[in-house]
Amino acid sequence: MSPAPRRRLYLPLAGLAVGVVVGLLIQFDLPVAYARYLTLVVLVALDSALGGLRAALEHQFEDRLLLTGFLWNAACGVGLAFLGDHLGANLYLAVVLALGLRLFRTAAALRRLVFT
């Protein structure tokens, strides 16, 4: 691992810390009906973060791809789940499954990148 990406990790980690603190400070009470969708967004964000880390380690990081990927995947996931709720099909599970598979794949790729 080159030293440059390692140094660049500090700022995102600080961002994560700030986000956690802001979330703790702000009373953000989401209606239960939307909590499921928020879970999807969290999964998408997690996926983007791991994907971004992987891309950085592979020296392929593109900030535009990261942000658009996050927004686009979140919109698609929530939209699909929303559609499923109104069609009576549990597309929510499909989104969770797809994201879960992606997360595992990315995690495996990260493991390979770090331990090889």
Interface residues toward another protein, by CB under 8 A: 4, 8, 11-20, 22-24, 28-30, 32, 35, 38-39, 41-42, 45-46, 48-49, 52, 56, 61-64, 66-67, 70
Least CB distance to another protein at residue 9 (A): 8
Full 3-state SS string of the chain: CCHHHHHHCHHHHHHHHHHHHHHHHCCCCCCHHHHHHHHHHHHHHHHHHHHHHHHHHCCCCCHHHHHHHHHHHHHHHHHHHHHHHHHCCCHHHHHHHHHHHHHHHHHHHHHHHHHC
Pick 10 or 115: Cβ nearer another protein: 10
Of residues 63 and 116, the one with the C-beta less far from another protein:
63
Rounded to the nearest whole angstrom, what is the least distance from the CB of residue 95 to another protein in the complex? 15
- Please say which residue, 29 or 116, places its beta carbon nearer to another protein: 29
